Amino acid sequence: MQRPLLVIDVQRGNISEYNRFIPNGIASIIKAELFNPIIFSRYINTPDSPARLFLEVEDMSDFGSAGMESKIAEVMGAKAPGLDTYGVTPLPEGYGAKRYLLTKNVYSAVTPEFEELLAELDLANTGMYIVGADTESSVLKTALDLFERSIEPIILAEFCGSHRGLGTHERALELLKELIGPERVISDYMPLRHRWERSKNS
Candidates 94, 111, 93; CA nearest to 102 is 111
pLDDT tens-place string over residues 110-120? 999 999 999 99
SS3 10: coil
* Structural domain range at position 86: 5-201
Q: How far is 90 from 131, CA to CA, in rounded Å?
A: 20
CB 86 within 8 A of CB 105: yes
Q: What DSSP element (H or E) covers 173? A: helix 166-180
pLDDT at residue 40 tops 80: yes
User: What digits encode the pLDDT tens for the residues 189-199?
Assistant: 999 999 999 88
**Which DSSP helix (H) or strand (E) runs through 160?**
strand 153-161
DSSP label at residue 162: -
> Looking at the predicted structure, is the pLDDT value of residue 1 above 70?
no
Secondary-structure percent of the chain, ordered helix, strand, coil, rounded to 5: 40, 25, 35
pLDDT digits (tens, 9 = 90+) for 172-181: 999 999 999 9
CB burial of 175-192 (b: ≥16 within 10 Å; e: otherwise) equals: bbbeebeeebbbeebeeb
The pLDDT-based confidence of 49 (bands split at 50, 70, 90) is very high
pLDDT at 199: 86
Count of domains forming the chain:
1
Q: Regarding beta strands 87-94 and 97-104, do their DSSP bridges make them parallel or antiparallel, or are they unpaired? A: antiparallel
**CATH number for the domain that contains residue 197:** 3.40.50.850
Q: Are 110 and 48 in contact (CB under 8 A)?
A: no
Q: Please report, rounded to a whole number, the percentage of residues in the chain having pLDDT higher than 90.
A: 85
Please tell me the pTM assigned to this model: 0.96
Sign of CA dihedral 27, 41, 157, 200: negative
Q: Which three-class secondary structure string do you get for 86-152?
A: CEEEEEEEECCEEEEEEEECCCCCCCHHHHHHHHHCCCCCCCEEEEEECHHHHHHHHHHHHHHCCCC
Mean pLDDT of 77-90: 90
